[in-house]
Structure 1
Amino acid sequence: MRQLPWRTAPRAALSSPLTLVVAAVTALLSCFLGAAAVLHASAAGAATVDYQAEQVCPDAAAPMFSQSRIDPAAVEPTLWTMREQARAHGFAEPRLAVYTAEMRGNEFNGDTYRTRIGYTDGGVDNLELVSGSRAPGLWIGDDLSRNQGIGLGTVGRQVGGGALPPVTGTYTALVPPAPRWWCSQQDLAVQQRIVDPPSGAVLFATDRSSFDQVVAATGTIVDRMIVTFPGPPPRTVDDATDALERSEEMIAAVRSDLDGRGLGSLLNAATPGERSVEIAGQAQANVAFSIAPLAAISVLIGCAGVGTVALQWYQRRYAQLRLLAARGSGPLPLGGLALAELGAPVLAGGIAGTLLARLLLPVYGPPGAVSTPALLLATAVAAAILLVSLALLGAVVALRAHREFQLARVSARRRAWRLLGAFPWELVTGALAVVGWIQLRDFGGGSRSLNPLPQVNPVALTYPVFVVLTVGLLAARAGWLLLRLSHRARFWSRPALQLAIRRLASSRAPVVGVLVIGVLAIGTLAAGNGIATAQNAALETKSSIFVGADSRADTESPVGRGERPLPGPLRDSSTIVGELTGTGSVVLVVDPATFARSARLGALPAEEVEPLLRQIDRPPGETVPAVRVGHREGQSAALPGMPDAAPIADLPVFPIIGTQPGYVISRNALTPDQLGAVPRWSVLSQTPLGTLTSALAAAGLAQPNAVDRVTALDALPFYLVEWTFSFVVVLGAVLAAVAILALLAAVEVRRRQNALAGALVLRMGMRPRALLGSHLIELGTLAGLAVATGVACGLTVAGISVPRFDPASWLAPRSELPDLTPFVSAVAGTGVLVVLAAGWIAMRSVRTARTAELLRA
């Protein structure tokens, strides 16, 4: 019994494994890009949620309740209501914090102090115990205990009231910035001991009953009650939105319950995470909106690849299709035959692409979790692309069969393809690039505070891609014309070169196709990688210049004048810097011996700065040697209260000064009186901010305006641009895989032709090494042109775009393209490996060929 070809199609497809691989990979890449776009946007939103959770108070993920001057008897009923509503709305058990007002009449050892006494659930677990135990009673700050001689076991009294619980422990007093655990009650838990060291201390009750004893002994009310609901922060935008909605519902329920019992009139409630949810949702929408055009373009390219696979299959199965058509099979059954043969690899490739998009998301996407709705949407998008690919596969074959076997319209089709090839598409892409550039000129410029996200303009984001595509099309047009004229080339004295030119000319269409895809892939990869990498470099450089070190805090003048030394923990890792203005220039007074080792110089090379600092390190004189920064026309050399500056060198930028007009002078070039006239002194340190402020506080030194490099700038705008262009990198990597596959497939398709030609030239006396060199010249020329054009174009367009995509253009220095030598080396090395692999494939067919059988075939 004769079997129908539709039943044997899956087995027949194995006769051309390359077609199966190309079909599967094409579907894989299309579904990968479609699913990756959805997952990428969702991960960007989740990464924003994580970032915001690190910046804001951890208690902001749930409702926060506070009430001032509450009757102690009302605390427990209010807390019970909040506990019940928290359970009903899916929040954790409440954490209670209660504080008394600042009391001036607490007496210890006969002396009266101004103190505040508080209790927080789990509070003592987050204090550093210096001495004592967790026994019921009060913990006092170590400074008050040490300076005033209040030891363990001391029992205080309220003047005119009863006895306080005994002192059972001393803890390391909290100073700003306090640990994040205390953020929701920082104004109550942190004592301002620098302002008034002997007083204003904060004492903590170790348990609730000890605090109740304080309230009873002093006869006071609870000055402040704060209730929070600690729990893990949300991981995705959907989770954060759900938590916000539940918070609002819980607040309404708590208010209704307490109002009904007359307890909620003074209750304040807030959902502090609302702004974070808004920013995260906007960030996710911005990234999705930005990459949508690129994702659509890439999916269309993938669908075009599926159509090309269908045409190739049609040509390979032409004889069989014509026979089936003659026997009465219509276009639809013939399209079904294509699906029967190639449907399985397309389906497998699509499923694999969807799975890879999810599994590889930590590699290519933002560092955020993916929500379940996003996973479902990504699967749906991939399924839709897969269905379109399958439908396109069958439709292309059916339409081609209909035109050729039923309408006999083949020549018109060929003329249409010739017209499409002759159309100057580079003019269209060039016009789109110009439109993108016009939009790019006004891109960026995010606000410093109120609007932390850069503006979104997807047309501006397509500018690099369209520039690269235009250059690729121009290179292809030039290559096509050169190959048309290559028959005039006469290099028979170098047969390897002549044969390489002939092989390129004999396959102009595949060569041009590989060239276009290669230039687009490498150029897109270079542009996306350059812009994304520049965001990290810009954030690092700008924060380093802005802060001047890992951490910075203002300090007191005696330290700046040298009358008081830096605390011991800071001496080997910190430096003192003075700052004054008054003549239009910023004057920075530095210590040359410690500045270079402690400060962060941004993009300035240390080997350039250190010699300049040594040159300005001179004794006082008639002028002050200085390094001039950000020189402007007519910049005055006058220094306020000092001799004129004598510039010895110019620098475009300097820590703290930035690119403003200014001078850097040595403290050793000033007299004691001149040092005393400097109004502001700061400590720049390599240590974390907490270490810096704690060391200064332990030495009794003020530390206002403390800032560190990590939190000085809002990094989210930089991250958003980086995440957006990381998808461009993914697109470039996918196109690079397509280009490599196309090059290897083109060599494999010509296997019989290469084998016959190679065997003949070897019989005619050419050495195998020369033949291999000929193939390497052919493939190396194609790959080298794609790599050189793509890298040059990509890096050029990235260099032009980086300053425009700078989300903090108001802050010096201006963003620049970083050193991409490793990237260029990696691309060049990959190109060499691909050329060697393709050359090996070509030579393998020659070595295994039998000339007689090839001629007979």
Structure 2
Amino acid sequence: MSSKLTLVVAAVTALLSCFLATSAVLIGSAAGGAALDYQAATACPDAYGPVFSRAGLRADQAPAVLDAVRRQAAAHGFPQPVASMYSGVLFPVDFGPAAARKVVLGYRDGGLDQVRRLQDGGRPGLWVGDDLTRFSPVRPGDPVDVQGVALPAVAGVYHALSVPPPRWWCSQQNNATVYLYANDPLNTIVFASDEATFRQTAGTLGLPTLANFYVSFYLDPPRTPAQAREYLDRSRALIAAVDADLRQQGLTDPVAMQTPFARSVEIAEQAQSNVLVSILPLAAISVLVGCGGVATVALQWYQRRRPQVRLLAARGASPPALGGLAVAELGLPVVLGGIAGIVLARFGLPLYAPPGTIAVGWQAAAFGIALGVLLVALVLLGAVVALRAHREFQVGTRPGRGLSRRVLALLPWELVTAGLAVLGWSRLADYGASSRLGTPLPQINPLALTYPVFVVLTAGLVAARVVWLLLRASHRVRWWSKPPLQLAIRRLAGARAPVTGVLVIGVLAIGTLAAGSGIAQGQRAALDTKSGILVGATSRVDTETKVGLGQTPLPEAVRDTSTVTGRTTGTGSVVLVVDPATFAGAAYLGPLRERITELLPRLNQPAGGGLPALRIGHAPTALPGLPPAVPIADLPWFPLLGNSPGYVVSRTALTPAQLAAIPQWTVLSRTPLDQLSAALSAADLVQVNRTSQEGALDALPFYVVEWTFSFVTVLGGVLGVVAVLALLVAVEVRRRQNALAGALVLRMGMRVRTLFGSHLIELGLLAGLAAVAGVACGLAVAGLAVPRFDPVRWLAPRSALPDQILFVLAVAGAGLAVVLLAGWLAVRSVRTARTAELLRG
């Protein structure tokens, strides 16, 4: 405890090493869990297990297939399967006093529990949708017959499923919902209350085949790739058992047996592998740097304990015993720091890791690797001291060691790191090519991910080299007319090695943090911008012509957040007809919001010789069935059009006949898709081609890059802590020297405020240079790398680095706080020192 600073440095070094080792593994595992969560959210909830389906299955084979699936499912640990059966369209079907209607007879296990029951007769029979009862007075108990053949009576009325249906019905959307493309109210779905009623009705009707037969399982969503793989293995085993069972009954391939979630599992495993492979080189480098820090702590301990070590060696203590002494003194802080790093990495996951579940096995692996790093740190601590003692007391000092150190210092290491950065950049050039070929995830090259770090490291080494040369020549500076500045320069020159070391770590920390956070934010911004422009708004729905012409207004619930646009083609150019009064308030305008908002009112102003229009991405062409276009501005892209060649015109500039000739009308809205769809359904408006900004693009490739660079951001944060500690340690190590020099200049008449300013100049120059070089290099690297990491390069606009003003201000504020703290520590040692004791020492 005689040197608390050494204990603190040892503990913090172990903490950071174990934190990085643990966090690297946890980030990789969490990426797999998050990718699986994304895949599970996009799949139907009954697709996680096996699916047995067939279109046109013979009705007499359905019971045998169902019995086989139910029997084998229980034997393989699956829950009760959910069977769905649908007939073809029957005509005519009479419902009591109502006229004949076109209906589809359907049944789904538990289906009536997943709809809103409006009228319940309390007995078995047929349930009709309210899409039919709105036009006919059908009630529970009414008789049902087909061409004089009696069917089970009406048992109840349910609220008809609209598109999109509730998630439980996801896989049955094409069967359980009615598409009113032509406003035809005659089609409806009639559900049997139970399987026996369905079979009775189908038998009465003499149906030879089922139009659709579907059996699936509702399993809990898998949270980790290992759990999903276990689902997949059990599903394949069940399929094999069902197939063998049916073959024994003489049924050969009656249904298709599939595992639809298999591809999603492969993609999640690939995402986990990509992130792990990408961050492992950086994790290994960071752990090696942490081990170097442990070796530095060992050498510092040896230098401080050299008199005791020399005495023990003279009394016969061996080098391993001296190394054991170092472990005995520093082992406890190292162990406590390492354990604290593991705990911090585990419980700090929400702050830096992807939002995925981590399997227990991966957690054990992460803790095991971190404990291995901790053991290596302890061994390294003792080995460095033992080797130093062996060389000094048993081998002796060898000549030429000072020369070798000078040679190593003069070697241009920045050229090596620059070469590695160029190699990484060459691997980065084709990063997003695979996404254009239909591959869900870009192929990862680990060298491509090291490019930003090596560029920043090169900048730090170059800055350190320049500062080293300037400090060597600083003895020629004669600025005694400004004592605070002259003293600051002399203090920097007197500690060239610590200064350059802190500078390199500071530049690497800030640059890595800037590059990692910038690239991660760039991916998130690119996903938001590209999907918003592709959809045109938060949600998009194609609707009927009467809405486009204004004959039927939009529902009140979405009127203030929506706009109606028309599209027509014919000459290779798309003509988009917008309402300037509502378009800007509903559409996604992204980076061009100010420009488009300014131009939209000009579309209503007359233009001589033609139709005022915004031209998107091409040379002038004729508009189909419209007057010639008079471009008032050219834009690189536009919502809904992207960068496709086209024109944007105002609906107020078109005649009623020209508006009536537009073939497609679309509702763009800031309202979420489910709310927009519900409002249109309540108003009985046709809606097709529904798209939302959330589901327009496969977001997983963007997320994988973001998750990968989350570790780079963590690495930058850790290096930032190291840089701050290194600066504070450098000030604390020179405490006696600063106290003596400061006491003397105070006795010579300098004020404490001036001395404090001198220390601020010294530390501010160092921190400012590190901040400027790190921010400039990191943001430049991120700006160059963000477009390269874009997995959807075919869609405009090109990915770009988002605004980083807040990051720059945060770095400036943190740097100022650290400089003030370090300056206060330096002046505090001066004010509390006793000059006589310093001189006596």
TM norm structure 2: 0.96
Residue aligning to 2:748: 764
Residue aligning to 1:284: 272
> Residue 731 of structure 1: which of 715, 720, 726 is its match?
715
C-alpha spacing 1:140/1:448, structure 2 compared with 1 (3 Å): farther
Shift of 1:557: 2.9
Separation of aligned partners in 2, 1:76 and 1:15: 84
Shift of 1:221: 5.8
Residue aligning to 2:12: 25
Residue aligning to 1:609: 596
Shift of 1:556: 2.7
1:164–1:217: 8 Å Cα contact kept in structure 2?
no
Shift of 1:430: 0.8
Say which SS state the counterpart of residue 809 (structure 2) adopts. helix
> Residue 37 of structure 1: which of 2, 9, 24 is its match?
24
Counterpart amino acid of residue 382 in structure 1: A
1:158–1:217: 8 Å Cα contact kept in structure 2?
no
1:46–1:237: 8 Å Cα contact kept in structure 2?
yes
2:131–2:188: 8 Å Cα contact kept in structure 1?
no
> Residue 418 of structure 1: which of 364, 386, 406 is its match?
406
Shift of 1:653: 2.1
2:130–2:157: 8 Å Cα contact kept in structure 1?
no
Shift of 1:520: 0.2
How far does the alpha carbon of each residue in 1:275-296 deviate from its partner, in whole angstroms, 9 at most, with x for none? 0011011111111111111111
Residues 1:180 and 2:180 aligned together: no
Counterpart amino acid of residue 432 in structure 1: L
Separation of aligned partners in 2, 1:725 and 1:344: 33
Residue aligning to 1:198: 185
Residues 1:639 and 2:623 aligned together: yes
Aligned ranges 1:111-260 → 2 under 5 Å: 111-132=99-120, 135-171=123-159, 173-195=160-182, 197-220=184-207, 223=210, 224-260=212-248
Counterpart amino acid of residue 60 in structure 1: A
Equivalent pairs, count: 839
1:620–1:668: 8 Å Cα contact kept in structure 2?
no
Separation of aligned partners in 1, 2:438 and 2:595: 38
Residue aligning to 2:610: 623
1:619–1:670: 8 Å Cα contact kept in structure 2?
no
C-alpha spacing 1:84/1:351, structure 2 compared with 1 (3 Å): farther
Greater mean deviation of Cα atoms: 316-325 or 514-523: 316-325
Q: Which structure 2 segments of 5+ residues have no match?
A: none
Separation of aligned partners in 2, 1:487 and 1:646: 70
Counterpart amino acid of residue 49 in structure 1: L
1:514–1:739: 8 Å Cα contact kept in structure 2?
yes
Residue aligning to 1:476: 464
Shift of 1:533: 0.2
Residues 1:338 and 2:320 aligned together: no
Separation of aligned partners in 2, 1:135 and 1:546: 50
Shift of 1:75: 5.3
C-alpha spacing 1:490/1:50, structure 2 compared with 1 (3 Å): same
Greater mean deviation of Cα atoms: 145-154 or 693-702: 693-702
> Residue 708 of structure 1: which of 692, 711, 728 is its match?
692
Residue aligning to 1:821: 805
Counterpart amino acid of residue 498 in structure 1: Q
Residue aligning to 1:9: none
C-alpha spacing 1:618/1:558, structure 2 compared with 1 (3 Å): farther
Separation of aligned partners in 1, 2:805 and 2:695: 30
Greater mean deviation of Cα atoms: 321-330 or 96-105: 96-105
Residues 1:544 and 2:532 aligned together: yes
Residue aligning to 1:750: 734
Separation of aligned partners in 1, 2:462 and 2:804: 25
Residue aligning to 1:3: none
Say which SS state the counterpart of residue 40 (structure 2) adopts. helix
Counterpart amino acid of residue 85 in structure 2: V
Separation of aligned partners in 1, 2:147 and 2:430: 67
Say which SS state the counterpart of residue 705 (structure 1) adopts. strand
C-alpha spacing 1:658/1:134, structure 2 compared with 1 (3 Å): farther
Say which SS state the counterpart of residue 153 (structure 2) adopts. strand
Residue aligning to 1:362: 350
Shift of 1:673: 2.3
1:251–1:269: 8 Å Cα contact kept in structure 2?
yes
Residue aligning to 1:10: none
Shift of 1:361: 1.5
Residue aligning to 2:834: 850
Residue aligning to 1:674: 658
Say which SS state the counterpart of residue 269 (structure 1) adopts. strand
How far does the alpha carbon of each residue in 1:420-439 deviate from its partner, in whole angstroms, 9 at most, with x for none? 21111001001111111222
Separation of aligned partners in 2, 1:137 and 1:619: 65
Shift of 1:191: 1.6
Aligned ranges 1:414-453 → 2 under 5 Å: 414-447=402-435, 450-453=438-441
Say which SS state the counterpart of residue 47 (structure 2) adopts. helix
Residue aligning to 1:501: 489
Residue aligning to 1:793: 777
How far does the alpha carbon of each residue in 1:783-834 deviate from its partner, in whole angstroms, 9 at most, with x for none? 1111111001100111111111111111111001101111111111111111
Say which SS state the counterpart of residue 53 (structure 2) adopts. strand
Shift of 1:724: 0.8
Residue aligning to 1:532: 520
Say which SS state the counterpart of residue 233 (structure 1) adopts. coil
Residue aligning to 2:822: 838
Shift of 1:582: 3.5
2:141–2:153: 8 Å Cα contact kept in structure 1?
no
Say which SS state the counterpart of residue 101 (structure 1) adopts. strand
Separation of aligned partners in 1, 2:487 and 2:51: 78
Counterpart amino acid of residue 340 in structure 1: A
1:31–1:350: 8 Å Cα contact kept in structure 2?
yes
Shift of 1:130: 3.8
Separation of aligned partners in 2, 1:134 and 1:481: 93
C-alpha spacing 1:54/1:491, structure 2 compared with 1 (3 Å): same
Say which SS state the counterpart of residue 353 (structure 1) adopts. helix
Residue aligning to 2:93: 106
Which 4+ residue blocks in structure 1 deviate beyond 6 angstroms? 71-74
Separation of aligned partners in 2, 1:73 and 1:150: 32
Separation of aligned partners in 1, 2:155 and 2:561: 38
Residues 1:591 and 2:575 aligned together: no
Shift of 1:618: 3.5
Counterpart amino acid of residue 146 in structure 1: R
Separation of aligned partners in 1, 2:562 and 2:526: 24
Greater mean deviation of Cα atoms: 410-419 or 810-819: 410-419
Shift of 1:706: 1.8
Separation of aligned partners in 2, 1:135 and 1:451: 52
Shift of 1:216: 4.9
Residue identity over aligned pairs, in percent, reads 59
Counterpart amino acid of residue 33 in structure 1: L
1:141–1:170: 8 Å Cα contact kept in structure 2?
yes
Residue aligning to 2:762: 778
Shift of 1:446: 4.0
Greater mean deviation of Cα atoms: 528-537 or 248-257: 248-257
Greater mean deviation of Cα atoms: 72-81 or 421-430: 72-81
Greater mean deviation of Cα atoms: 692-701 or 90-99: 692-701
Separation of aligned partners in 2, 1:230 and 1:342: 56
1:343–1:390: 8 Å Cα contact kept in structure 2?
yes
Separation of aligned partners in 2, 1:528 and 1:163: 67
Separation of aligned partners in 1, 2:549 and 2:82: 47
Say which SS state the counterpart of residue 625 (structure 2) adopts. coil
C-alpha spacing 1:558/1:671, structure 2 compared with 1 (3 Å): same
Residue aligning to 1:96: 83
Greater mean deviation of Cα atoms: 236-245 or 161-170: 161-170
Say which SS state the counterpart of residue 803 (structure 2) adopts. coil
Separation of aligned partners in 2, 1:454 and 1:206: 49
Separation of aligned partners in 1, 2:258 and 2:320: 64
> Residue 249 of structure 2: which of 261, 274, 277 is its match?
261
> Residue 46 of structure 1: which of 5, 10, 33 is its match?
33
Say which SS state the counterpart of residue 810 (structure 1) adopts. coil
Separation of aligned partners in 1, 2:676 and 2:290: 56
Separation of aligned partners in 1, 2:98 and 2:622: 58
Counterpart amino acid of residue 240 in structure 1: A
C-alpha spacing 1:269/1:649, structure 2 compared with 1 (3 Å): same
Shift of 1:351: 1.7
